[in-house]
Amino acid sequence: MTDAIDATENPTPRRNPKPETTKIAGRELKPSTLMMGHGYDPTLSEGSLKPPIFLTSTFAFPSAADGKRHFEGITGQRPGGAEGLVYSRFNAPNQEILEDRLAIWDGAEEALSFSSGMTAIAILMLAACKAGDVIVHSGPLYAASEGFVAKIMAKYGVTYIDFPAGATPEELDEVMKKAKAQAEEQGGEVPLIYLESPGNPTNALVDIEAVQQARDAHFDADRCPIAIDNTFLGPLWQRPLDHGADLVVYSLTKYVGGHSDLVAGSISGRKRFIDAIRALRNTMGGIVDPNTAWMLLRSLETVELRMQRAGENAEKVCAFLKAHPKVEGLGYLGLIEDERQQDIYNRHCLGAGSTFSVFLKGGEAECFRFLDNLKIAKLAVSLGGTETLASHPASMTHLSVPHARRQQLGISDSLVRISIGIEDADDLIADFEQALEHV
Ligand SMILES: *Cc1c(COP(=O)(O)O)cnc(C)c1O
C-alpha cells in the first residue's frame, strides 16, 4: 500500500478523531467528567462548544484513494473498520461521539447505537445465530425480546432453552449441557447466552459470574458471547462486563435517555463481537438518527445525577410503602428477602435502582383503584424517566404472556410496577399515600 492511499495523511474532514486518552496526569477520568467533551473536537466544527447535528446522508471524500480505503474498512477487506465517514447508514459524527461515550460507561472496548432497544436486540440475535443454533436465555425477558427469540428466531431454525433468573451454578451447568445436546441434535451451536438482569417486572437477578463459569465449562468463550440487557440498572448500578459478560445491551429509551422523549438502543462490549454486529447493522440499517444521538449526548451529561436522585427517592418511597398496611410486599432490590438473590446483589450491583414492583393486598380491582387515583405519578408503561410512572404489568406490558407463564414468573394481578423519577420524594410519598386510601 503506497503512502498516497494512507488515510492518516488525508483525514476525512470533520470526522471526530478517536479519542486518544481518558487520563490526565496518570489519573483515569470518571465517566461523569468525560461526558462533557470526550470524542468531540470543537475545532472541527467552527469552535462550536456543543457538537452540531449533522443532517447528511453521505460524506465527501478528499480523494478517490480515500474513498477506496474507507470502503476496504467498511467491507472488512482491511481489518479495523472504516477510518472515515462514508454514508450515514454506517455512521456519522453525532453517532460516533455517542458510541465513544457509551463505551466509557460500561468500560467497553466499543459501542454501537441503534434506533431502538429492540433493534439492538434483534440485530444482536440475527448476527449471532444461524439455522440449527440454540440460544440460552434467562427468564423472564422483556416481552418483545422473549417473543423475538421464541417466534421470530424460530422462523430461521433457531431454538432456545431458558432458565429462571436466580438459577444456581448447578442448575446453570445442567442448562448448558442440555443446550449443547440440543444444538448437536439440530446440527448447530450455542452462539449466544442472553441474559436480562434484573428481570422485568419481578427484579429477579441473574448470577452473571456463575453464567460465565458454566459457559466456560461447556463452550468456547470466543464463539459464545454472554450478552446482558442492562436497561434497568445500567450504566450506574451494574457493570456486567466486570462480572464476565461480553456484551451489554440497552434500551437507551429508559434511564440513559431519561426524559421519556426519545427511543434508542445500544450494545457495547468486546470488539470481536461488536464487529460482527456492526457488519449486520451496516447492511440492514438500524443506527440511531443524528437528532436522537445529539439528545442522548445531552442526556449522558446528567445520567449520573438523575439516576442517583431517582435511586435516593426510590429508597424513601419503598421505606414508606413497606410499612403501609395495604401493601403485601415489595420487589425492590434495596429490600431483598431471598439469601441467594442478596448474594448476587452484593456481588453485582452498586445500587438498588428506582424501578420496582409493589404487591397490593387484593387483585386487579385494587391495583386499578390505586393507579386511577395517582396525581403526580403518571399511569404509563416505560421507566427510567425524570417523572414517576406506574403501570399494571399483568394487564398491560405482560398481557400477551400466557396466564400460566405469568404465574410462574410471579407476575400476579396484585403487582403494580413503579419507576421513580427525580421529583421531591415527600411529594411522591404523599401521592402514594392518598392513592392507597382509595384502595
Ligand atoms: C424498553 C425495554 C426494551 C426495549 O427497548 P425499546 O427502546 O423500547 O425498543 C428492552 N429491554 C428492556 C429491559 C426494556 O425495558
Check whether residue 193 and residue 323 sit in a common domain. Answer: no
| CB of residue 200 inside a 6 A radius of ligand 1 | yes
CATH of the domain at 79: 3.40.640.10
CATH of the domain at 389: 3.90.1150.10
Check whether residue 329 and residue 270 sit in a common domain. Answer: no
| CB of residue 249 inside a 6 A radius of ligand 1 | no
- Cα separation, 236 vs 347, in Å, equals 15
Check whether residue 279 and residue 323 sit in a common domain. Answer: no
Which of 194, 200, 251, 299 most suits a substitution to test ligand 1, by most atoms within 8 Å of the C-beta? 251
Q: Is the pLDDT of residue 156 over 90?
A: yes
What is the number of the ligand 1 atom nearest to the C-alpha of 383? Answer: 15
Task: Note the pLDDT of residue 18.
Answer: 64
What is the number of the ligand 1 atom nearest to the C-alpha of 231? Answer: 13
User: pLDDT tens digits for 316-357?
Assistant: 999 999 999 999 999 999 999 999 999 999 999 999 999 999
| CB of residue 288 inside a 6 A radius of ligand 1 | no
Task: Note the pLDDT of residue 252.
Answer: 98
Distance 28 CA to ligand 1 centre (A): 31
Q: Is the pLDDT of residue 231 over 80?
A: yes
Other beta carbons within 10 angstroms of residue 275's beta carbon come to 16
Of 300, 309, 318, nearest in space to 422 by CA: 309
| CB of residue 94 inside a 6 A radius of ligand 1 | no
What is the number of the ligand 1 atom nearest to the C-alpha of 119? Answer: 9
- Cα separation, 394 vs 363, in Å, equals 10
User: pLDDT tens digits for 175-189?
Assistant: 999 999 999 999 999
Of 307, 302, 433, nearest in space to 377 by CA: 433
Check whether residue 271 and residue 342 sit in a common domain. Answer: no
Check whether residue 78 and residue 173 sit in a common domain. Answer: yes
Q: Which of 250, 282, 300 is the last residue of a domain?
A: 300
| CB of residue 282 inside a 6 A radius of ligand 1 | no
| CB of residue 138 inside a 6 A radius of ligand 1 | no
Of 424, 324, 300, 240, nearest in space to 30 by CA: 300
Check whether residue 191 and residue 225 sit in a common domain. Answer: yes
Check whether residue 270 and residue 307 sit in a common domain. Answer: no
| CB of residue 260 inside a 6 A radius of ligand 1 | no
Q: Is the pLDDT of residue 107 over 50?
A: yes
Write out the residue range of the structural domain in which residue 431 sits: 303-436
Distance 117 CA to ligand 1 centre (A): 5
Check whether residue 271 and residue 230 sit in a common domain. Answer: yes
Please state the rounded mean pLDDT for residues 296-306: 98
Beta partners for residue 268, in sequence order: 111, 248
User: How many percent of the chain have pLDDT more than 90?
Assistant: 83
Q: Which residue has the higher pLDDT, 8 or 413?
A: 413
pLDDT-derived band at 219, boundaries 50, 70, 90: very high
Domain total for the chain?
Answer: 2
Check whether residue 293 and residue 366 sit in a common domain. Answer: no
Check whether residue 333 and residue 185 sit in a common domain. Answer: no
Check whether residue 317 and residue 227 sit in a common domain. Answer: no
Distance 268 CA to ligand 1 centre (A): 16
| CB of residue 431 inside a 6 A radius of ligand 1 | no
- Cα separation, 199 vs 141, in Å, equals 6
Cell numbers linked to 325: 398496611
Check whether residue 283 and residue 325 sit in a common domain. Answer: no
Q: Do 199 and 231 contact (CB within 8 A), yes or no?
A: no
- Cβ burial, residue 174 (10 Å; 0-12/13-18/19+): middle
User: pLDDT tens digits for 16-55?
Assistant: 556 667 888 889 999 999 999 999 999 989 999 999 999 9
Q: Which of 269, 300, 331 is the last residue of a domain?
A: 300
Mean pLDDT computed over every residue of the chain: 92
Please state the rounded mean pLDDT for residues 140-156: 94
pLDDT-derived band at 15, boundaries 50, 70, 90: low
Which of 254, 255, 299, 389 most suits a substitution to test ligand 1, by most atoms within 8 Å of the C-beta? 254
For residue 82, give every residue at least 6 positions away whose Cβ sits within 8 Å of its Cβ, in sequence order, or none: 70, 73, 74, 90, 91
Distance 148 CA to ligand 1 centre (A): 12
Q: Which residue's alpha carbon is at the smallest distance from atom 2 of ligand 1?
A: 251
pLDDT-derived band at 84, boundaries 50, 70, 90: confident
3-state secondary structure 4-73: HHCCCCCCCCCCCCCCCCCEECCEECCHHHHCCCCCCCHHHHCCCCCCCCCCCCECCCCCHHHHHHHHHH
Distance 408 CA to ligand 1 centre (A): 22
Q: Which residue's alpha carbon is at the smallest distance from atom 1 of ligand 1?
A: 251
- Cα separation, 20 vs 52, in Å, equals 21
| CB of residue 69 inside a 6 A radius of ligand 1 | no
Task: Note the pLDDT of residue 437.
Answer: 97
| CB of residue 116 inside a 6 A radius of ligand 1 | yes
Distance 12 CA to ligand 1 centre (A): 35
